[in-house]
Amino acid sequence: MAEMAAPFAPARRGAAGIVAPLAALLLVSSALWLFQGLGEGNRGFILALRAIKLGGMMTVAAAVGVSTILFQTVAGNRVLTPSIMGFDSLYALLQTAMVASLGAAGFAGIASLPKFLAEVGIMCLLATVLFGTLLGRGSRDIGRTILTGIIFGVMFRSARDLLSRLIDPNEFAVVQAATVVNFARTDASLLPLAATLCAICVALAMVMAPRLDVLALGRDGAINLGLRFRRLVIATLGLVAVLVSVSTALVGPMSLFGPAAFFGLIVAGIAHGLARSYRHAVLLPVAALIAANILVLGQMIFERILGQQTAMGVVIEFAGGLFFLFLLLKGRIR
């Protein structure tokens, strides 16, 4: 009976139980990342380099983890991620179009801050137009929205493929470098801005967390309980758009060419499996922490043990995928 008197209590206990060890693990792995094999000479230089990469990874991790959970809540579906909706293809198309129109030299000549802002702006704008028109008309038909998104994704990808066949091979190499996720590319001058934008979005998502719990009941349930459904859906998708754009513009698309296509999916799946709670106040930080742990540990294995011999995505997929399967088979993910 005591259990029933406080129906929210079990979830809360579980929450503290999982956030703390994940945070501790992240502290340890971050420290390892920063200080392992530092050597004698040029310590300051190497540390600064590593810190920037670490910052990039944290920003991307928070963005991927939080945006995937948010997106899945809106879609009412645990298999969809923003990258399936064509976000990443859109970014790649944008890069290719820029190289095609400006030429390789012109592309390299754009200052990083205006380029970053323009990319984030355009991505957000296009995402808003895409979702706005789709949700404006049939806001109750999430399934159709998503299907349309997938078709747009394929369209962006095809348009990009077409463009990359038309441009000259040297320019294509530039595009390819710009569209493969690379934490080494993290631009120190952009990091503070990207991290701040990301932190604001995560904070907003946390403020919305109780309403997101209700949103997860589906449209009818949410409206019955007095939620302004459409406004909340659009606000949530807006956050997703900003988060994905920021992280993509910072380091490149997580999921386009590398096998890391399922990074968001793996992170969200593991978060649901470990958090064992429906509460977004728990799910969101857990997802961000899991993503950060996977990225930092994966990057460490990739750089320091495998000597950059393989793609980062392979490491992520291998370790993350195995853990995902383990949780799936144990019945902790449904």
Q: Which spans of this chain sit near other proteins (rule: CB under 8 A)? A: 3-8, 10-11, 72-73, 76-78, 210-211, 213-214, 216-221, 223-229, 272, 276, 278, 334
From the CB of 324, what's the least distance to other proteins, in Å? 16
CB-nearer residue toward other proteins: 7 or 307? 7
From the CB of 270, what's the least distance to other proteins, in Å? 14
From the CB of 111, what's the least distance to other proteins, in Å? 43
From the CB of 206, what's the least distance to other proteins, in Å? 12
In DSSP notation, 267-310 reads HHHHHHHHH----HHHHHHHHHHHHHHHHHHHHHIIIIISTT-S
Find where tokens 């129109």 sit.
101
From the CB of 233, what's the least distance to other proteins, in Å? 14
Exposed/middle/buried for 34, CB within 10 Å: 0-12, 13-18, 19+? middle
Query: CB under 8 Å to 278, separation ≥6 — which residues?
Result: 11, 213, 216
Exposed/middle/buried for 94, CB within 10 Å: 0-12, 13-18, 19+? buried
CB-nearer residue toward other proteins: 50 or 78? 78
Exposed/middle/buried for 300, CB within 10 Å: 0-12, 13-18, 19+? middle
CB-nearer residue toward other proteins: 51 or 223? 223
Report the alpha-carbon distance of residue 86 to residue 198 in Å, rounded. 20
CB-nearer residue toward other proteins: 21 or 210? 210
Buried b (16+ CB within 10 A) or exposed e, 120-157: beebbebbeebbeebbeeeeeebeebbebbeebbeebb
From the CB of 218, what's the least distance to other proteins, in Å? 5
CB-nearer residue toward other proteins: 77 or 170? 77
CB-nearer residue toward other proteins: 7 or 41? 7
